[in-house]
Amino acid sequence: MNAMTSGSVAGRGPGVQLVYDFADGDRGMVDLLGGKGANLAEMTRLGLPVPPGFTVTTEACQHYLLRGEEPQPLRLQVTMALRRLENLLGRRLGDVQDPLLVSVRSGAKFSMPGMMETVLNVGLNDYSVKGLADAVGDERFAWDSYRRLIQMFGRTVLDISSELFESALESAKVRAGADTDVELPAAVLRELVDEFKGIVLEQTGRQFPQDPREQLDLAMRAVFASWNTDRARLYRRRERIRNDLGTAVNVCAMVFGNLGDSSGTGVCFTRDPATGRPGLYGDYLVNAQGEDVVAGIRNTLSLEDFAHLNAAAHTELTRIARRLETHYRDLCDIEFTVERGKLWMLQTRVGKRTAAAAFRIATQLVDEKVITNDEALTRVSGQQLAQLMFPQFDADAPRTRLTLAMGASPGAAVGKVVFDSATATAWAARGEDVLLCRRETNPDDLAGMIAAAGVLTTRGGKTSHAAVVARGMGRTCVCGAEEIDIDAQARKLRVGDVVVAEGDVLSIDGSTGEVFAGRIPVVPSPVATYLERGLDVALESADAETADLVGSVDQLLRHADRTRLLGVRANADTAEDAARARHLGAEGIGLCRTEHMFLGDRRVLVERLILADTPASRDAALAELLPLQRADFTTLLREMDGLPTTIRLLDPPLHEFLPDRTELAVEVALARAAGEVDPAREVLLTAVERLHESNPMLGLRGVRLALMVPGLFAMQAQAVAEAAAARLQDGGRPLVEIMVPLVGSVMELHLIRDEIDGVITDVADRTGADLSIPIGTMIELPRAALTAHRIAEVAEFFSFGTNDLTQTTWGFSRDDVEAALFATYLDKGVFTVSPFESLDRDGVGTLVRMAVTAGREAKPDLKVGVCGEHGGDPDSVHFFHEIGLDYVSCSPFRVPVARLEAGRAALIAETGAGAS
């Protein structure tokens, strides 16, 4: 970086080409030409009707950003390119007779809102406006184009508030009695131009630049500089786009959609990007230029109407759309303009689409033999599948939309509006569905967020506290609804002139960010029905579009199953969960937690175990728990017959099964004061106090607890072994595995194995059953990962508990930091995604990778899986595939997501394509 001579670009010497004609580029040059420029070049290369022009490279921008000035050769190269353009068209930029006009358009590698938009009609001034009027024979048009130039230039290049121009335009409309801008006559537009020029002078102290080349240079520089606006930086940080890429600038000869009724401008998609329905989909606006379509200033026409207006142009558009689709092999998004009947292409790119459209379009393209099933699979994502699985508002139900904000955490939630956490918890406790509505949330709102069916905030974006926490707990959330005014004191909110009081019902859609008045019925999504109940049930009542969607999901999910190398299991604690997981495609249970088997009615038995003061009384308590556990496991193994089922022995600290310390202390104190001492409660309080821990996450739990309470794990192992024996006796195929939690040292595992192995041998001897029960361990402490080579000698399998491993690697207590710290950390860029949501590859991932390698070195047939929630997170699944795990295990409803992503991981790793 140090030896750059003046005029060189990024150290590449003075001869660097900084300007490319559209005719000289192609879509492979996206790094240099940006997305828009590369695609304009590609369309030019294909012989499509693109107005000619040239692109200034991202390298020129990088130079400008580093040095604060354009690279020295740029000026000459632009002059030459402009000369070529002028010669090609036979017109000069800003000439007084028949002037060439150009647009100056930003265009980075990744499309990026927040950067400078486009300036159209560059080259117009007080003289060329007359030349333009004469050349096209339309004075109104010429003045309209000029006022647009000053307006756009003023706003984007000179940084003048757009409201000044807009209000001038509004009053001109009032003066002229015009409803829309097209009704403004030439004379009024001319006055408006004078007014606009006055605004420029007043705001900048300078005249609106009359020199066409100066207009061009200033506009290009403004594009460069817009790379570093706060909005653009913020966007890049969120989207993880590198800061040093820079943007290209496209200079493109103008074509005019505002030349009367035979002209217009439009946008279209080669298929419907919302539903995936085949056929062109778009909007057309007669007698309009550029941004008018999306600005929504007048009502647009459908493409069918466009076909009636101009059949030839519509036919050509259809033909080009098909051409682009086969060329790009994907849905394309197109901008076009019609100038006096002739079609011009102004932009194309691979189009964004909804989750449903992604699945449908991918399989349509397979059917049309444009892409293969493998490619189709890479075109959809687990996140999209997850979105399709959320319950939805009934599409047929009537609705009144109050506002559109940001969908921060998907789902459809209906509930009574409440304005504080306490009310949310209170109302939810009496069985009401509530929506917690806050300006923004903070850690104090956590209880309310847990209690609520959904969360609605009026401030903050997708990394706000509300958004992060809601996503973390799978709660539906809409955030940043700025049109809503909340008056928490008065317990009401206001949207426009609608007032919603506490207790009134609203419906929010966390996928789209919509907020609706009243209650909209919620229905299971057809994709969820398919996944849980099969294709036939899902198709029973489906219309053609829905059937097509379900068919697409089925096709791609089955392809993923054929393709993937990772096994997919579920975390399920009960037979019902297990059944659900099986329907959703789980190939086993990777984690069955046993703590729920100690709750409810059985809590008293656990109390007895804890309070036991002799080995005999402890054995008696354990003996009572044994048959209950055995029955639990027998049912579970029946449900999972023939599939591996990993049972994790008790993990949490014992005090979790005891009454709350404070409440019990108060109760006992009151009893003492009243002279009614209850000896049993007194003993219990002593136990609770003895077991109290200031940091239970790092306390007496897992294998440590087992070593302190002899017989506990042995009882569980006996229940497992007897259940397996019983199943064998019934002709079943139990494939049960026992997993020991929180091991940090191989000695701990040795000690426990000695105990468990003995029990299993006893059961086998006693029942005559041929029991083979693999025993493995969780790897959820850094020390376990660091000593994996030792631990592997004693374990038949490893299962990474990535939640605890994340907590202990970062030193985070999840319950404490997630609400208190994460919104800030995300905002400040400490991480781009919560390490509990997506595995921290650099830190936690390194431990996992090390442990896999060391474990397999010590024991080549060691089976390795993961049972943290990360097992269902798309990005983490790709990581687990890369490091060669045998399986992932996640909650049942994430199983389809993991299946899909595991299939994609196998393909993407193979082809080396990017993961996102």
* Interaction site with ligand ADP (CB under 6 A): 51, 103, 105, 117-118, 120, 252-255, 290-291, 335, 337, 346-347
Tell me which residue has tokens 């005891």.
658
Contact 84, 99 (CB under 8 A): no
Q: Can 596 be counted among the known catalytic residues?
A: no
Q: How far is the CB of 347 from Mg ion (least distance, A)?
A: 4
Residue 221 CB coordination number (10 Å): 17
Residue 769 CB coordination number (10 Å): 18
Contact 481, 457 (CB under 8 A): yes
Taking CB positions, which residue lies at the least distance from ligand ADP? 290
Which one of Mg ion, ligand ADP, none interacts with residue 105, CB within 5 to 8 A by kind?
A: ligand ADP
Which one of Mg ion, ligand ADP, none interacts with residue 103, CB within 5 to 8 A by kind?
A: ligand ADP
- Give the binding range for Mg ion (CB under 5 A) out of 179-187, 342-350, 447-455, 764-772: 342-350
The two tokens of residue 191 are 């006055």
CA distances from 684 to 604, 615, 623 (A): 11, 18, 21
Which one of ligand ADP, Mg ion, none interacts with residue 780, CB within 5 to 8 A by kind?
A: Mg ion
Cα–Cα distance, 136 to 141 (Å, whole number): 9
Contact 548, 527 (CB under 8 A): no
Q: How far is the CB of 899 from ligand ADP (least distance, A)?
A: 37
CA distances from 328 to 46, 313, 319, 413, 915 (A): 12, 22, 14, 39, 19
Q: How far is the CB of 173 from ligand ADP (least distance, A)?
A: 22
Q: Which one-letter DSSP state was computed for residue 443? A: G
Q: Which residue is catalytic, options 61, 477, 867, 890?
A: 867
Q: How far is the CB of 327 from ligand ADP (least distance, A)?
A: 20
Residue with smaller CB distance to ligand ADP, 105 or 727: 105
Q: Which of residues 779-808 bind Mg ion (CB under 5 A)?
A: 780, 801, 804
Beta carbons within 8 Å of 828's beta carbon, 6+ residues apart: none
Which one of Mg ion, ligand ADP, none interacts with residue 117, CB within 5 to 8 A by kind?
A: ligand ADP
- Choice from 58, 106, 347, 387 touching Mg ion (CB under 5 A): 347
Residue with smaller CB distance to ligand ADP, 252 or 428: 252
The two tokens of residue 753 are 């194995």
Residue with smaller CB distance to ligand ADP, 52 or 503: 52
Q: How far is the CB of 322 from Mg ion (least distance, A)?
A: 21
Largest CA distance in the chain: 108
Burial string for 29-66 (b: 16+ CB within 10 Å, else e) reads bbebbbbbbbbbbbbbeeebebbbbbbbbbbbbbbbbe
Which one of Mg ion, ligand ADP, none interacts with residue 804, CB within 5 to 8 A by kind?
A: Mg ion
652 binding Mg ion? (CB under 5 A): no
Contact 567, 887 (CB under 8 A): yes
Residue with smaller CB distance to ligand ADP, 108 or 412: 108
- Give the binding range for Mg ion (CB under 5 A) out of 328-336, 513-521, 642-650, 885-893: 328-336
CA atoms within 13 A on the CB side of 72: 8
Q: How far is the CB of 845 from Mg ion (least distance, A)?
A: 17
Residue with smaller CB distance to ligand ADP, 122 or 712: 122
CA distances from 548 to 107, 360, 903, 904 (A): 36, 7, 21, 21
480 binding Mg ion? (CB under 5 A): no
In three-state secondary structure terms, 285 is strand
Residue 468, φ and ψ in degrees, nearest 5? -65, -45
Cα–Cα distance, 791 to 803 (Å, whole number): 20
Residue with smaller CB distance to ligand ADP, 51 or 741: 51
Q: How far is the CB of 107 from ligand ADP (least distance, A)?
A: 7
Which one of Mg ion, ligand ADP, none interacts with residue 624, CB within 5 to 8 A by kind?
A: none
Which one of ligand ADP, Mg ion, none interacts with residue 486, CB within 5 to 8 A by kind?
A: none
- Secondary structure of the chain: what % helix, strand, coil (to 5)? 50, 15, 30
Residue with smaller CB distance to ligand ADP, 345 or 557: 345
Residue with smaller CB distance to Mg ion, 272 or 780: 780
Residue 278 CB coordination number (10 Å): 14
Residue with smaller CB distance to Mg ion, 270 or 464: 270
Amino acid occupying residue 897: V
Residue with smaller CB distance to ligand ADP, 253 or 795: 253
Which one of Mg ion, ligand ADP, none interacts with residue 255, CB within 5 to 8 A by kind?
A: ligand ADP
Q: Can 465 be counted among the known catalytic residues?
A: yes
Q: How far is the CB of 804 from Mg ion (least distance, A)?
A: 4
Task: Catalogue the E-assigned strands of 594-658.
Answer: 644-648
Cα–Cα distance, 129 to 370 (Å, whole number): 48
Which one of ligand ADP, Mg ion, none interacts with residue 291, CB within 5 to 8 A by kind?
A: ligand ADP
CA distances from 752 to 74, 708, 738, 762, 784 (A): 74, 11, 11, 16, 15
Q: How far is the CB of 121 from ligand ADP (least distance, A)?
A: 9
Which one of Mg ion, ligand ADP, none interacts with residue 557, CB within 5 to 8 A by kind?
A: none
DSSP per residue over 559-585, as a string? HHHHH--SEEEEE-SSHHHHHHHHHTT
Which one of Mg ion, ligand ADP, none interacts with residue 796, CB within 5 to 8 A by kind?
A: none
Q: Which one-letter DSSP state was computed for residue 832? A: S
Which one of ligand ADP, Mg ion, none interacts with residue 254, CB within 5 to 8 A by kind?
A: ligand ADP
Number of residues that bind Mg ion (CB under 5 A): 5
Residue with smaller CB distance to ligand ADP, 227 or 657: 227
Supply angle C-alpha 393, 395, 398, rounded to 5.
Answer: 90
Which one of ligand ADP, Mg ion, none interacts with residue 801, CB within 5 to 8 A by kind?
A: Mg ion
Q: How far is the CB of 291 from ligand ADP (least distance, A)?
A: 5
- Give the binding range for Mg ion (CB under 5 A) out of 150-158, 330-338, 707-715, 751-759: 330-338
Residue with smaller CB distance to ligand ADP, 65 or 293: 293
Residue with smaller CB distance to Mg ion, 43 or 434: 43
Cα–Cα distance, 409 to 285 (Å, whole number): 35
Q: How far is the CB of 288 from Mg ion (least distance, A)?
A: 14
The two tokens of residue 899 are 């299946």
Crossing angle between the packed helical segments 874-882 and 382-389, to the nearest 10 degrees: 140
CA distances from 195 to 130, 151, 177 (A): 18, 11, 18
Q: Which residue is catalytic, options 252, 314, 437, 465?
A: 465
Q: How far is the CB of 100 from ligand ADP (least distance, A)?
A: 11
In three-state secondary structure terms, 387 is helix
Cα–Cα distance, 338 to 341 (Å, whole number): 6
Active site members: 465, 867
Site of interaction with Mg ion (CB under 5 A): 335, 347, 780, 801, 804
